[in-house]
Amino acid sequence: MDSREPDRTTADPHPDLQALAVQLRRLNGELNRLVHGFAAGQDLHPTDVQALAAILDSEVPLTPSALRRRLGLTSGAVSACVDRLERAGHINRVRESTDRRVVHLHYVPGARAQARRYFGPLAEAADRVRGRYDAPELAVVLRFLGDLNEELGETNGPPAR
């Protein structure tokens, strides 16, 4: 290593990075609290709510195998999750018409309305906060969050012990 370069392995993180990490952890905690509350009220697991979000946010209908990859679960865990979500009335499995072996997962409209009611206070809070920023500031926030999500989506966690 060049002696003019700082040793990043022992250097303290930049204060802005530390503050950002704290705020991201706080946001994650608050979102987890809401997700756990919704899951408990629906007799679901928090992972099931993550699956619902993945199905809702996907630009194309998800298959169980695509959901498995997105959530990093085993095929057995995804099967159990999809079974619970279907039994609870949140999703439907729809066979692809051209290839009957392909199953797509669709969010049931009534269940979507139920989730909107529960998460309404989150949407209202986000709207109140959004109103404190002008369009260029919001564009930066959205770009940052999008870029961070892309980076995280490409990052594997530490190896299992």
DSSP string, 105-118: EEE-HHHHHHHHHH
- The model carries a pTM of 0.78
Half-sphere exposure of 104 (CA within 13 A, CB side): 15
Write the single-letter amino acid at 123.
A
pLDDT of the residue at 9: 56
Encoded tokens for 109: 């409209």
Query: In sequence order, which residues have a C-beta less than 8 Å from that of residue 118 and are 6 or more positions away?
Result: 37, 38, 41
Alpha-carbon Rg of the chain, whole angstroms?
A: 20
Write the single-letter amino acid at 9.
T
Nearest Cα neighbor of 52 from 30, 27, 34, 26 is: 34
pLDDT tens, 25-78?
Answer: 999 999 999 999 999 998 999 999 999 999 999 999 999 999 999 999 999 999
Query: In sequence order, which residues have a C-beta less than 8 Å from that of residue 80 and are 6 or more positions away?
Result: none
pLDDT of the residue at 5: 55
